[in-house]
Amino acid sequence: MILSPTLRKTLAASISLTFASIAAMTFAQEEQSLSFKTEKVTDTIYMLSGQGGFTGGNVALTVGNDGVAMIDNGLSDVLDLLKAEIAKTTDKPIDYMINTHVHGDHIGNNHAFGEGGARIISHENLREALSKKKDKDGNTEPKSAFPVLTFSDRMTIHINGDAATIMHFDSAHTDGDAVVYFKNDNVLHTGDIMFNGNFPFIDDSNGGSLDGVIRALTAISKMINDDTKIIPGHGPLANLSDVTKTVAMLEDSKSMVAKLVADGKSDDEVLAANPLAKYEEYSWGFINTERMTKQVLTGVRK
């Protein structure tokens, strides 16, 4: 079975909705045990990650004399938990809120922080995607959820003795991805361009692509060094070696699937061959080897 472009896009959208559903069910089942953990990355930068269940993507804070900038803000259901965790580090308001991409597990609380006075920053494609987003009742996002500062390629915030450069990588996880690099602290937040230790979710319905993820991670590997601390979209704190390992896995996965396609195998035959079995360690609840193979097939057949 060869999927048409339209069917592939429908499938990707369905997977995206499934991701949201899984997150909601996980939260409902594990609400009592959910919490955040704060890890001090440098003297001014902190990583906040969920514990005991799914809270969304990894959050970052830079805190200092100039104020507070925050990267991503998790699922809407965990707002109170997130605010309580932030309060352990600072009682200052959030001055800037940087969105790495449009998914609700990363910007689910834009409205709350925007309403509280944070200036939301994103790539221009994210703002455009957000303007088209509607809930099940057909309602659009409130005005306070929208970025008020957008960029096309890159922009820099000078805060807390550092230059935080926000850079766009096209057609990677989505078409509106941004990474944030703190030059002096040598810390990088990748958003969902990188899932550390897990297969990535590549959102074809929002302009993402396998080749784009590989290009982005390859470019990232060339702009950092062995001392760089990486806050991934999901997973533990990472380093250059983790990026290199992820790129190798993705390139090898593409090569194996491309060979089967070149040999005339149908999608069903490729799936039956289970070419990514060697990477079973990267499987997780949302993207197992079968779903990852489907994502690779989409990339190879484009």
- pTM for the whole thing? 0.90
Confidence of residue 12 (pLDDT cuts 50, 70, 90): low
Helix (H) or strand (E) holding 165: strand 162-169
Quote helix, strand, coil % in the chain, to nearest 5. Answer: 45, 25, 30
**Residue 29 pLDDT more than 50?**
no
What is the sign, positive or negative, of the torsion defined by CA atoms of 154, 234, 225, 202? negative
Enumerate domains of the chain plus CATH numbers.
Answer: 5-238 (3.60.15.10)
The percent of residues in the chain predicted with pLDDT above 90, rounded, is 86
Angle of CA points 64, 65, 70, to nearest 5°: 40
Q: Kindly report the average pLDDT of the chain as a whole number.
A: 92
**Residue 237 pLDDT more than 90?**
yes
pLDDT tens digits along 61-87: 999 999 999 999 999 999 999 999 999
19-28, 46-55, 197-206, 217-226: the lowest-pLDDT one = 19-28
Confidence of residue 26 (pLDDT cuts 50, 70, 90): very low
Residue-level pLDDT at 28? 47
Residue-level pLDDT at 135? 83
Q: Compute the average pLDDT of residues 38-67.
A: 98
DSSP secondary structure string, 97-164? Answer: EE-SSS-HHHHTTHHHHHHTT-EEEEEHHHHHHHHH-B-TTSPBPPGGGS-SEEESSEEEEEETTEEE
What is the sign, positive or negative, of the torsion defined by CA atoms of 242, 248, 254, 257? negative
pLDDT tens digits along 151-185: 999 999 999 999 999 999 999 999 999 999 999 99
